[in-house]
A and B are shown apart, each in its own frame.
Chain A
Amino acid sequence: SQQGEEDPQALSIQEGENATMNCSYKTSINNLQWYRQNSGRGLVHLILIRSNEREKHSGRLRVTLDTSKKSSSLLITASRAADTASYFCATVSMNRDDKIIFGKGTRLHILP
């Protein structure tokens, strides 16, 4: 049962530009997480933002959360070729079932 929905589905940008991906979800959440998946590999956990937080940074990553709009965004600054991957948002709901529900992902392609 999908909770988060990423937008856009695919994104191509020039190396050095900033990449922004958005995620919308439906029900109240405890936290929201972003993951990266390189082609043919497993997912890598990038960042977790709690429902009472509005913004979080990790290196070149900036995540925002707007619980009133039920949306989040992931910004990657100064993109590099190695950032080419799929990015997933994932939510943990308030219903205490302690599971992470993943969206369908955004495919990001960094052009040289």
Chain B
Amino acid sequence: EADIYQTPRYLVIGTGKKITLECSQTMGHDKMYWYQQDPGMELHLIHYSYGVNSTEKGDLSSESTVSRIRTEHFPLTLESARPSHTSQYLCASSRGTAVNYGYTFGSGTRLTVV
């Protein structure tokens, strides 16, 4: 059982609302990631962090922001949600370099903006 938790699992909100998707892991991993998964299944890296106070944008431009104040917590925030943000958001963490380790994923948050 993966020790990485995402809440909420499902969220339906109105356009213009501010939302925060939570991601927490209890494994002490320094590296954490946010992916957006489209209906065609492809995963797009939108943010990553290699440790506390370190955040970087990923390959896919996103209007979301992230923070990493504690090792175990990597929340993603949308200041003003739009229908184009409707997607599945997956959080992942890694115990070390991708050369040696795979990622552990949370169960995801399915976001619908109406």
Contact = CB atoms under 8 A, between A and B. Distances in A.
Given A42-B105, A43-B105, A98 B43 contact: no
Interface residues of A, number: 26
Interface in A40-87: 40-45, 48, 86
Contact of A2 (B42, B90, B101): B42
Contacts of B92: 42-43
B48 A99 contact: yes
Contacts of B6: 42
Nearest to B42: A104
B98 A35 contact: no
Contacts, number: 62
B41 A35 contact: no
The secondary-structure label for the interface of chain B is: loop
A41 B110 CA distance: 10
A31 B48 contact: no
Interface in B78-114: 90-92, 97-108, 110
A90 B44 CA distance: 12
The secondary-structure label for the interface of chain A is: strand
A24 interface: no
A31 B45 CA distance: 18
Sort chain B's interface into a size bin: 20 to 34
Given A30-B99, A92-B98, A42 B42 contact: no
Given A42-B90, A42-B105, A45-B102, A88 B110 contact: no
A40 B48 contact: no
Contacts of A48: 100-102
B12 interface: no
A2 B48 CA distance: 17
A25 to B, nearest CB: 14
Contact of B102 (A30, A33, A86): A33
B102 A42 contact: no
Contacts of A30: 98-99
5 contacts: A42-B91, A92-B99, A98-B99, A100-B103, A107-B41
